[in-house]
Amino acid sequence: MPAPLRYCPDMEEVLKRLRLLYEQRAQDIVLAVMSLPSAALREFATQHPAGFCEYPDPAERARFWDAYLAEHTPLHDDAIPSAYLSEMDQGLYGGLAGGDARFLCDTGTGWISSMVAPILPHAQDLERLPGKPDALWMKRYERQMEVFVRAAEGKFTVSHFILIDALNFAFELFGATRTYELLLERPELIAQVIDYAFELNVAVQDAFFRQVPLLEGGTCSTMAQWLPGGRIVSESVDPFHMTSVAYFERWGREPVERILGRFDGGVLHIHGNGRHLLEAVSTIRGLKALYLGDDKGFPLAFEVLAEIKRRVGDLPLVVTVEYDRFREALRRHRLCGGVLYMVKEAPSMDEANHSMDLVRAYRV
């Protein structure tokens, strides 16, 4: 075991617990990551107005992550500190395909994300897309990884980031509504998009794993913390949240399993309006863990977690919960096992560390 990361002095023990969850699918333990009030986030909010912005200086972004993750050092939870390439979101994939990328600042999270307007809004054929990824965007991507890896060395890690493939990429080309129409009107075009997106996403993720080192043979993740077993990607089935399960089986499963098989597996997130997909998604070949998102109009995942566990079996889950709800369930011994709890707004470092003592001793 190498020396622990400076911002994670308990790294060896944390990796052991994460390995129990993700490799052995242990159902008798619970894990937790605690969030606390952040001076780095407050400073970010004073310096960056919320809303649309320009592409930021990667060095400035690396300094933000360094300051933000350093605050976590005295907290003995199950986190592996990692910086997220939030700028390399939809905008990277769309930008590589010739799209007009826009950036958006979120002062609540410290993220600057990206997106593109529809690239082929009139459903033109794919011949209009560039034969090679856009050189400016590829250079920007490689440069930001270089800056982040150098800034992180010995202190924190760099997280994998989202794929934009299959129908997610079709959304970038045509927009969401037109994509759904094209599934019926021009399924052969959607099949071509899926193949194009696969090659583009493989190029993006291959570049990531060439430049960003694994940690003890596993992939770091802001969502799952650390996933043993090699190069693990982060996938999305968001377009199928608004379709039937049958549409997922027809258009979603094969592309997901194809790219998870190209690497060493993957993790996935499900929003509140996608929970009808749980049984289908939980059987995806190569899936390592599932993050349960919360959305307005749907029960909080934490409130229906026992039911979700019955539907997905021993698949490791990640769920967000307010500190007071978590602490009460912990006190009453009502937490589901085999889950990583992302606990929001712990009142203090001492309180969070006391709760973590109870978490490590907890058995279902």
Tens-place pLDDT, residues 201-227: 999 999 999 999 999 999 999 999 999
Q: Which domain holds residue 275?
A: 1-36+215-364
Residue 25 lies in a domain: yes
Q: Is residue 301 part of a domain?
A: yes
**Whole-number pLDDT of residue 275:** 98
Evaluate whether residue 136 is within a structural domain: no
- For 308-356, the three-class secondary structure string (H helix, E strand, C coil) is HHHHHCCCCEEEEEEHHHHHHHHHCCCCCCCEEEEEECCCCHHHHHHHH
pLDDT digits (tens, 9 = 90+) for 2-52: 788 999 999 999 999 999 999 999 999 999 999 999 999 999 999 999 999
Question: What integer pLDDT is reported at residue 317 of this predicted model?
Answer: 98
Structural domain includes residue 220: yes
Evaluate whether residue 56 is within a structural domain: no
CB 160 within 8 A of CB 233: yes
Q: Which residues contact 158 (CB under 8 A, 6 or more apart)?
A: 82, 83, 85, 145, 148, 149, 152, 212, 220
| Structure confidence at residue 1 (pLDDT) | 66
- Asked if residue 51 belongs to a domain, the reply is no
| pLDDT score at 125 | 85
Q: Using an 8 Å Cβ cutoff, are 318 and 339 in contact?
A: yes
pTM of the model: 0.97
Which stretches of the chain score pLDDT less than 50? none
Q: Is residue 151 part of a domain?
A: no
Residues 6+ apart with CB under 8 A from 254: none
Instruction: With respect to residue 290, please indicate whether it lies within any of the assigned structural domains.
Output: yes
Looking at this protein, which amino acid is placed at residue 359? V
Report CA-CA distances (Å) from 164 to 222, 323, 344.
17, 32, 28
- Tell me how many domains the chain contains: 1
> Which is it for strands 101-106 and 51-53: parallel, antiparallel or unpaired?
antiparallel
The pLDDT of residue 252 is 98
CB 359 within 8 A of CB 30: yes
